A and B are shown apart, each in its own frame.
Chain A
Amino acid sequence: MTKQFKILYRTVLILLAVAAAMLAGALILWTIGADVTKTYSVIIFEPLKNKIQIGEVIIRAIPLTVIALGISVAYRSGIINIGAEGQMAMGIIAATAVALAFPGLPKAVLLPLALTAGAIGGAAWGFIPGLLKAKLHVSELLSTVMLNYIAAQFYTFCLRGPMLDPAEITMGSGTPQSMRLTKAIWLDRLVPGTRIHTGVYIALFLAFTVWLLLWRTSWGYRMRAAGAGERAARYGGIGVAGCLVAAMVISGAFAGLAGAVEVAGVHRRAIEGITGGYGFSGIVVALFGGLHPAGIIPASFFFGLLIVGADMTQRMAGVPANMVLVLQGIIILVIVATRMVLANPYLEDRVRRRYCRLTDRGREE
């Protein structure tokens, strides 16, 4: 009964939050003179109307899930990783570099190698702010954001310089992108007619792993303790500094891996704009998903839906895709508010008693 109520309570609150966000969004849509109902129905229902579109939603949910999982590991350990965007870029570079350097290797070797390289690239980019925070108490908010800029510039440099497709030079078009990577690093497509790739399995596997790590291992226990009560963790003999670094390395590795999967599964070459804000949306997804894998997966799907829906509103309802960014912003605000409400046990208890009274009366009648 209590557990049942708890789930009901949370679900209702989250639905209310979504409704509140939509209402606020509707107001803004109305002021710019858009057709509110049409816009919403396009965002929410159009992407689910056929197989191809659903596939598009899923392939966007994959990197979001992986990045959000990494961010939740960091967040739970007491460090806020805003650098996933840069870590993802470094992962793409590393994976692409491996694919370009060893085009002759068989798939069974090259694919794992490239994915690992991606994870290492991201991990290295996560390690730096982790170490700075642990040893010198440098705010991770500053260091991760600054490293994002560096990664973005390095990424552009690579695509225009060392990794530039030779064909672009000979043809003189100069689009900053790498050559098409060897088929040996392609992730297989799962459903014919869509772009859904085996990255889905990777994401689900990682979700399970994160859950296992955080709630079932002594390492996860220590990391959570360091995040939830630094002083108590230190008192308990837990190496807080080590936990911070480990959490950032894991977080970075996940973002890097998300980049590698994106290259191997969707684009099959490094092009500009792959990261496309996934690193930032990942933060929202992680929070919206309650920093728990079981919440992050549906949250990623929801945000995937928003991204695809945004594209479609532009085409079908004449509303600029940027409006969806506005909606995202509203959702973030609503989430923060909802989290405060969810964290209030008194309110929950009051609602529970009222609910009990109602259901009891219902039974009597």
Chain B
Amino acid sequence: MEPNTGKITSLRVEHITKRFPGVLACSDISLSVGEGEVLALVGENGAGKTTLMNILMGLYRPDEGRILINGEETVFRSPGDAFAAGLGMVHQQYMLVANMTVLENIALGYTRAWSPLALDLDMVRARIDEISRKYGLAVDPDAYVWQLSVGEQQRVELVKTLCLGARFLILDEPTSALTPQETDELILLLRKMTRELSIIFISHKLQEVKNLSDKVVILRRGEVVFEGSTADHSSDDIAALMTGREIHLPRNEAPECEGKPALDIRGLKVRSDRGFLAVDGLDLSVCAGEIVGLAGVSGNGQRELAEAINGLREVEEGEILFFGRNIADHSPRDVIDAGMGYIPEERNTEGIVPSFSMKENFILKDAGSPRFSARSFLKLEEIDRNADRLRTEFDIRSPDTDAAAGSLSGGNIQKVILAREISRMPRFLVAVYPTRGLDMGAAEFIHRRLLEKRMEGIGILLISEELEEILDLSDRIAVIFKGRIIGTLDRRTADSRKIGILMAGVRNDEAV
């Protein structure tokens, strides 16, 4: 069947309502996108953005409401239907096979090049060429996906979606994994692409909403609370509409702290899963009552460092002195008992047991502690009390504490983890990408909590790619590149330009 190649000149969504167990995910949502328009869909975590997009992509069917493409009502029974109608989505997590080439990855979905026995790779190559030229998206079809940077992989995703016939793009947080430079490039690229097609993109970052979109729709608790032209509103207005209140991300303005070294890492070497030295002779020290921000493009050893500190990864060489005691290669239990708190990178699989209830997740590290069990029997009342208290204190939104943790939204999952780690009264905290993918309201909340802990005299190692987050919170900033600290900056002298240069691996002696 020859796919329809006509332009999508208008996409309208009318009165969409979708209910999930106990939640009204989308309530009477209407929006429309015209030819060449870019619509930004913003809202806090759990506001219903993803649900709405899944309805557009045919993954869910709405309980009420309808979708019109070029004025005609369309019903999507499956993702295939949405695809045939010309809607293409690029997900937050890229759907690429790492050990295949770009060409092969695209051929995977390009069924027109398939015949029962052979795969017409030349046809795929021609198609990639055509799309690349049409939209100005340069990709090397013969590169292996694992060789590409995150930004390049995203471009492959875009090319793939377009090659497969998308005439309308839906992008779910397209910049969440990109460096600042890559983000700028992407925005330019998308701007150019609007000559050929329309775009809906989901984002938390108000700056790019301003830069890219023509129209903005703000969702809160499943409802459209604002719809208007981007040019008429400032980022602050949009942020306030998003959360329903003014947002001010807190800053670390406390006087310099002179605590004793809490964490002192010397000459640390750690291997990655693929066997190379991901952390290669790293030295770093964090004092009590100090936040050290570890900046760097992800994949430069951050994950391995955090895991090694927490006993989850073997240490090849070097020392990790925790209040003077070497904890390198100790078991996770030992490290926890020594007073380490850890907010892991993978919040959905590592930070929580998804099928466990929220209250069960609160005792993940303490099931055997006298507080929650006596002679091995769990103290159910105390567990309930603890959960109720934390849920209120950390404003975790869910019907009750029996809800499966995995069913919560990203922001709420992160709050569950934060609540558990902070309420355990740690002496030190390692926080890895603590606000990745979270909306501003949740990020603000988490930042405040981290600063509070700092004031209580707890040392924090903050690993992040968000320069603003690092600049807002840190007392000192260390930049990691290829497993080593390439430079350390003081809060007063640091700015994003200097950090950016170091992140790229250029040692700037003046800045050190």
Asked if B234 lies at the interface with its beta carbon under 8 angstroms from chain A, I say: no
Asked if B284 lies at the interface with its beta carbon under 8 angstroms from chain A, I say: no
Question: Closest approach, in angstroms, between the C-beta of A143 and any C-beta of chain B?
Answer: 26
Residue from B20, B342, B363 within 8 A of A221 (CB atoms): B363
Question: Closest approach, in angstroms, between the C-beta of A302 and any C-beta of chain B?
Answer: 27
Whether A219 contacts B376 by the Cβ 8 Å rule is: yes
Determine the residue in chain B with the shortest Cβ distance to A346.
Answer: B20
Chain A residues whose C-beta falls within 8 Å of the C-beta of B373 in the assembled complex = 217-218
Whether A348 contacts B349 by the Cβ 8 Å rule is: no
Question: Closest approach, in angstroms, between the C-beta of B106 and any C-beta of chain A?
Answer: 32
Asked if A225 lies at the interface with its beta carbon under 8 angstroms from chain B, I say: yes
If the complex has contacts A232-B364, A235-B332, are A349 and B19 also in contact, measured as CB distance less than 8 A? yes
Whether B367 contacts A233 by the Cβ 8 Å rule is: no
Chain A residues whose C-beta falls within 8 Å of the C-beta of B365 in the assembled complex = 236-237
Centre residue among B21, B312, B353, B380 by max chain A CB count within 10 A: B353
Residue from A221, A228, A229, A345 within 8 A of B367 (CB atoms): A221
Asked if B276 lies at the interface with its beta carbon under 8 angstroms from chain A, I say: no
Asked if B351 lies at the interface with its beta carbon under 8 angstroms from chain A, I say: yes
- B337-355 CB contacts (< 8 Å) to partner A: 337, 342, 344, 346, 349-355
Asked if B368 lies at the interface with its beta carbon under 8 angstroms from chain A, I say: yes
Whether A235 contacts B312 by the Cβ 8 Å rule is: yes
Whether A346 contacts B21 by the Cβ 8 Å rule is: yes
How many chain A residues touch B (CB < 8 A): the figure is 25
If the complex has contacts A218-B378, A222-B367, A237-B331, are A231 and B350 also in contact, measured as CB distance less than 8 A? yes
Question: Closest approach, in angstroms, between the C-beta of B307 and any C-beta of chain A?
Answer: 9
Asked if B372 lies at the interface with its beta carbon under 8 angstroms from chain A, I say: yes
Asked if B192 lies at the interface with its beta carbon under 8 angstroms from chain A, I say: no
Chain B residues whose C-beta falls within 8 Å of the C-beta of A225 in the assembled complex = 353, 356, 360, 364, 367
Whether A232 contacts B19 by the Cβ 8 Å rule is: no
Residue from B312, B360, B367 within 8 A of A234 (CB atoms): B312
Chain B residues whose C-beta falls within 8 Å of the C-beta of A234 in the assembled complex = 312, 332
When each residue 324-365 of chain A gets 1 if its CB lies under 8 Å from chain B and 0 otherwise, what string results? 000000000000000000000110110011000000000000
Whether A218 contacts B368 by the Cβ 8 Å rule is: yes
Chain A residues whose C-beta falls within 8 Å of the C-beta of B333 in the assembled complex = 237-239
Asked if A216 lies at the interface with its beta carbon under 8 angstroms from chain B, I say: yes
- A130-186 CB contacts (< 8 Å) to partner B: none
Whether B21 contacts A349 by the Cβ 8 Å rule is: yes
Question: Closest approach, in angstroms, between the C-beta of A274 and any C-beta of chain B?
Answer: 35
Residue from A219, A236, A345 within 8 A of B20 (CB atoms): A345
Question: Closest approach, in angstroms, between the C-beta of A85 and any C-beta of chain B?
Answer: 29
Whether B352 contacts A232 by the Cβ 8 Å rule is: yes
When each residue 204-232 of chain A gets 1 if its CB lies under 8 Å from chain B and 0 otherwise, what string results? 00000000000011110110110011011
Question: Closest approach, in angstroms, between the C-beta of B250 and any C-beta of chain A?
Answer: 28
Whether A229 contacts B331 by the Cβ 8 Å rule is: no
Chain B residues whose C-beta falls within 8 Å of the C-beta of A238 in the assembled complex = 333, 364, 367
Determine the residue in chain B with the shortest Cβ distance to A353.
Answer: B19
Chain B residues whose C-beta falls within 8 Å of the C-beta of A217 in the assembled complex = 373, 376-378
- B311-341 CB contacts (< 8 Å) to partner A: 312, 331-333, 335-337
Distance, CA A237 to CA B372, complexed state (A): 16
If the complex has contacts A219-B376, A237-B336, A345-B20, are A229 and B363 also in contact, measured as CB distance less than 8 A? no
Distance, CA A346 to CA B342, complexed state (A): 33
Chain A residues whose C-beta falls within 8 Å of the C-beta of B368 in the assembled complex = 218, 222
Distance, CA A233 to CA B373, complexed state (A): 18
Distance, CA A104 to CA B350, complexed state (A): 57
When each residue 232-265 of chain A gets 1 if its CB lies under 8 Å from chain B and 0 otherwise, what string results? 1111111100000000000000000000000000
Question: Closest approach, in angstroms, between the C-beta of A181 and any C-beta of chain B?
Answer: 36
Whether B21 contacts A345 by the Cβ 8 Å rule is: yes
Question: Closest approach, in angstroms, between the C-beta of B401 and any C-beta of chain A?
Answer: 16
Question: Closest approach, in angstroms, between the C-beta of B406 and any C-beta of chain A?
Answer: 9
Whether B353 contacts A228 by the Cβ 8 Å rule is: yes
Chain B residues whose C-beta falls within 8 Å of the C-beta of A239 in the assembled complex = 331, 333
Whether A232 contacts B351 by the Cβ 8 Å rule is: yes
Question: Closest approach, in angstroms, between the C-beta of A4 and any C-beta of chain B?
Answer: 16
Whether A218 contacts B312 by the Cβ 8 Å rule is: no
Distance, CA A224 to CA B333, complexed state (A): 18
When each residue 352-392 of chain B gets 1 if its CB lies under 8 Å from chain A and 0 otherwise, what string results? 11111000100111011000110011101000000000000
Question: Closest approach, in angstroms, between the C-beta of B411 and any C-beta of chain A?
Answer: 18
Whether A231 contacts B377 by the Cβ 8 Å rule is: no
Distance, CA A353 to CA B352, complexed state (A): 30
Question: Closest approach, in angstroms, between the C-beta of B463 and any C-beta of chain A?
Answer: 16
- B29-86 CB contacts (< 8 Å) to partner A: 60
Question: Closest approach, in angstroms, between the C-beta of A251 and any C-beta of chain B?
Answer: 19
If the complex has contacts A217-B378, A225-B356, A228-B355, are A236 and B19 also in contact, measured as CB distance less than 8 A? no
Determine the residue in chain A with the shortest Cβ distance to B333.
Answer: A237
Chain B residues whose C-beta falls within 8 Å of the C-beta of A236 in the assembled complex = 332, 336, 364-365
Whether B332 contacts A228 by the Cβ 8 Å rule is: no
Chain B residues whose C-beta falls within 8 Å of the C-beta of A224 in the assembled complex = 356
Question: Closest approach, in angstroms, between the C-beta of B382 and any C-beta of chain A?
Answer: 12
Chain A residues whose C-beta falls within 8 Å of the C-beta of B352 in the assembled complex = 229, 232
Chain A residues whose C-beta falls within 8 Å of the C-beta of B354 in the assembled complex = 228-229
Whether A218 contacts B376 by the Cβ 8 Å rule is: yes
Chain A residues whose C-beta falls within 8 Å of the C-beta of B332 in the assembled complex = 234-237
Distance, CA A225 to CA B364, complexed state (A): 8
Name A's B-contacting residues (CB within 8 A): 216-219, 221-222, 224-225, 228-229, 231-239, 345-346, 348-349, 352-353
19 further contact pairs, Cβ within 8 A, besides A218-B376, A222-B367, A235-B344: A216-B380, A217-B377, A218-B368, A218-B372, A219-B376, A221-B367, A221-B378, A225-B364, A228-B356, A229-B356, A232-B349, A232-B351, A232-B364, A235-B342, A235-B364, A236-B336, A345-B21, A346-B20, A352-B21
9 CB < 8 A contacts A-B: A217-B376, A219-B376, A221-B378, A225-B353, A225-B367, A235-B351, A237-B331, A237-B332, A346-B21
Name B's A-contacting residues (CB within 8 A): 19-22, 60, 310, 312, 331-333, 335-337, 342, 344, 346, 349-356, 360, 363-365, 367-368, 372-373, 376-378, 380, 407
The 9 tightest CB contacts between A and B, nearest first, are: A229-B353, A237-B333, A236-B364, A218-B367, A349-B21, A218-B373, A221-B367, A237-B336, A218-B368
